[in-house]
Amino acid sequence: MVKLITRKGNLMKKKLEGKVALITGSGRGIGRELALMLAKDGAHIVVNDLDADPANQTVSDITDMGGKAVACNGSVTDDDFAERFINIALESFGGIDIIVNNAGYTWDNVIQKMDDKQWDAILECHLTAPFKILRAAQPHIKRLFLEEKENGITNFRKVVNISSTSGMFGNAGQINYATAKAGVVGMAKTMAKEWGRYNVNVNAVGFGLIKTRLTDADAEKEESLIDIEGNKIKVGVNSAVFQSAKTMIPLGRPGTPQEAAGAIYMFCIPESNYVTGQILMCHGGGFGY
């Protein structure tokens, strides 16, 4: 006879039980997959997207599986967004444990054809918005840390900035995006030093070619456009790039949103409590060099 052993108590506790995770750009793609992943592990999620419908759908999917989530919709570049984002987390769930600066898009051109509007838009989205979110979070993170310390509680918080192979190695036609993505690495390394005393791990994940709606479309086709705050922006990657992935990427293919989310997840769990100021490249082994 086989005896079944049931695990009880802390062994069954989810790794992120009761943690509060704020994820920008989590209505679609990588951000959505991460929101679902963290929610399954017990975290309460503040979902954000530029468009309400995908964000609300992610919230609905999380609540349908027994999790807790709220939406904070709108552009991360709005003047009041950072404070609104942080306040919704505090009002809804009473804390801040994980911040993932994931929202973004590309608006490409070579330097001589790139105007100030293109440059400013990408820097504001990818670099200035994360700065403002972390700045808005600081007083609350400090307060929560001091309260926990007073009560003899040790709690590690997590910040993950999303970078790119473009930010690490450069990419022709992406001076705005590459500059912003290099910047968030410096931001992560700096904040790791500033916030270490609060038991906050701050890291970055750099993505290579990940198959999302922003890359899966064919950039050569006129209909491959998205609307970002009134700007019609061509998205997608030339189909030849996907074909070249078979030889240029050691793993022989682009990554999936689930795989990309998994790289972020590793920086959100307790196993990374002594890892900070690092960048993890999620690029299948070398695409982008």
Phi first, then psi: give them for residue 230, nearest 5 degrees. 90, -5
Exactly one of 177, 198, 274, 289 is catalytic; which is it?
A: 177
Residue 212: closest CA among 227, 204, 224: 224
- Residue whose token pair is 């918080």: 157
Instruction: For residue 103, give every residue at least 6 positions away whose Cβ sits within 8 Å of its Cβ, in sequence order, or none.
Output: 24, 25, 31, 48, 49, 50, 76, 125, 129
End-to-end Cα distance, the chain: 57
Phi/psi of residue 80, each to 5°?
A: -100, 5
Tell me which DSSP letter residue 249 carries: S
C-alpha dist (Å) from residue 25 to 117, 175, 184, 221: 21, 22, 16, 25
CA atoms within 13 A on the CB side of 254: 16
Which pair of structure tokens corresponds to residue 172? 């022709």
Active-site annotation holds for 198: no
| Spatial distance between the Cα atoms of 242 and 254, rounded to a whole number of angstroms | 7
Tokens 């468009």 locate to 51
Question: Residue for token digits 């609104």?
Answer: 84
- Which of 208, 218, 219 has the alpha carbon at shortest distance from 259? 208
Q: Which residues on adjacent β-strands are paired with residue 69?
A: 45
Q: Which element (helix H / strand E) includes 204?
A: strand 200-207
Give, in degrees to the nearest 5, the angle at Cα 75 between 60 and 113. Answer: 135
Rounded to whole angstroms, the Cα distance separating 161 from 4 reads 43
Give the residue numbers annotated as catalytic, written as ranges. Answer: 177
